[in-house]
Amino acid sequence: MNPSNWMPDLAHPWTRFALIVVIALAVAGVLRRVTKFFLRRFAITHPAGASMIARANAPMEAIVPLAMLLIAFRASPDEPASLIDGLEHVVSLGLIVACTWFIVRCIGALDATVSRFNPIDREDNLRARRVQTQARVLSRTGSVVAVVLGIGVALMTFPTVRQFGASLLASAGLAGLAVGLAAKPVLGNLIAGLQIALTQPIRLDDVVVIEGEWGKIEEITSTYVVVRIWDERRLVVPLQYFIENPFQNWTRTNSQVLGSAMLWFDYGLPLGPLRTELERLCKQAPEWDGRVCVLQVVDTNDKAMQLRALVSSSNSSKSWDLRCKVREGLIAFVQREFAGFLPRVRGEFESPVGVDSSAIVGADSSAIPRQRAG
C-alpha cells in the first residue's frame, strides 16, 4: 500500500479547516499555560490579586479556547453554510457567557479582597464598615449590570431578536413607558443601592431601629437589606425603604451610646449613697467606657419618685448589658441597705367617732372601718 494514501489531502477545504482548528486549540493551550505562569508570579508579589486570580481562573479556562475557535471559524469552508453558522453561533454564545462569568467573578473577587483587608470585627470599625458597604453594594450592582448586558448581547446574536429590537425602537415611546413601569421596582432598588453606596445612610453592622425592631445590618444586596434582630430573627427590607422612610441609626457617626435604667423609689430614700453605689457599679463593669455615670430624679407622683441612671458604653450591645447590671445592682443595694424605702402605697386611716384610735392599734384589718388612699 502506498504510504502517501495515509497522508491527508491539504488541498481539501475541510482538511485545512480541521488543521486550523487543531492549531487554534494548541495555541490556546500554550496561551493558557503562559497566562497561568505570569498570573502566579503576579500573585506571589501582589497578595491582593491572589483572590481575583483564583476566582477568574475557571472562566479564563473557557475564554481562551473559545476565542481561538471563533478565530478559526473565519477560515471555515463555505459549504454547508448552515452547519458552520450554527457552530459559530454556539461558540459565540459560549464566549459571551464565559466573558460575563469572568466579569462577575472579578467583581466578586474585588469585593472579597476589600472585605479581607477591612475587617469589621474590631472595636473601632467605622471606616471598615463604610468601605465594606460601598464595596458590597457596588459589587452587587455591577454584577447585576454585567449579567443583564451579557444576556442582552447574547440575545442580539439571534436575527429574530435583532428584528424585534428594531421594531421596538420604532415605537420607543410606548415600549419605553411599558418597560419602565414593569421594571420600576428593579430599577428603583438599583438606584437606591447606588445612593446607599455613595451617601451611606446605613452600613454593614450598623445598629438600627426599623419598624419598631432593634437589630444590626447583616447583609446588603442589590435589592434588599437583611437586618438581624436581637432575638436572632431576620427582617428583610427593600433598599428603597431606607431612602423613602425615616429610621433610627445608632451608629451613624460612632458606636458610642448612652443607656438609661429607670427605677421607682420612696421619697425618703437618700440619694447620696445611691449615687456612690452607681459609681461603684460602673467602675466594676467592663461594659462602661468611663464617659457618663449620672443619677437623676426625672419624675414624681403621689406615691414615689422616679430615678434615671444614665450610663455610657462603647456600643449598643454593651449598653444593654450595662443597663441590666446597673438596674439589678441598685435594686439589690436598696433592698440590702434601705429596705424601708422601696415603693409603697400610703393610706390614711380614720377611726369612728368616739373611738380612741390607740385602741385599734394592733387590731386585725377587720377592725379598721375604711381606708382612703392618700
Q: Taking the CA of residue 113 as centre, how many other CA atoms within 13 Å lie in the half-sphere pointing to its CB?
A: 18
Range of lowest pLDDT (63-77, 192-206, 308-322) = 63-77
**CA-to-CA separations, 49 to 54, 111, 198, in angstroms, rounded:** 9, 12, 25
Per-residue pLDDT, 372? 39
Placement of cell 447574547 in the chain: 154
Query: Domain spans of the chain?
Result: 13-119+130-157, 164-253, 257-338
74, burial (CB in 10 Å: exposed 0-12, middle 13-18, buried 19+):
exposed
pLDDT higher than threshold 60 for residue 1: no
Residues 140 and 221 sit within 8 Å (Cβ to Cβ): yes
Per-residue pLDDT, 327? 93
pLDDT tens digits along 223-262:
888 999 988 899 999 888 888 888 888 887 777 788 889 9
pLDDT tens digits along 310-341:
999 888 888 889 999 999 999 999 999 888 88
The C-alpha atoms of residue 231 and residue 236 are separated, in whole angstroms, by 15
Is 257 strand, coil or helix? Answer: strand
pLDDT higher than threshold 50 for residue 6: no
Per-residue pLDDT, 35? 73
Per-residue HEC secondary structure of 269-302 comes to: CCHHHHHHHHHHHHHHCCCEEEEEEEEEEEEECC
Q: Which CATH number fits domain 164-253: 2.30.30.60, 2.40.30.170, 2.40.160.40, 3.40.50.1370?
A: 2.30.30.60
pLDDT higher at 176 or 254: 254
- Give the distance, in angstroms, between the CA of residue 17 and the centroid of all CA atoms in the same chain: 53
pLDDT higher than threshold 60 for residue 10: no
pLDDT higher than threshold 50 for residue 363: no
Neighbours of 335 (CB within 10 A): 11
CATH topology classification for 257-338: Alpha-Beta Plaits (3.30.70)
Per-residue pLDDT, 96? 87
Per-residue pLDDT, 180? 52
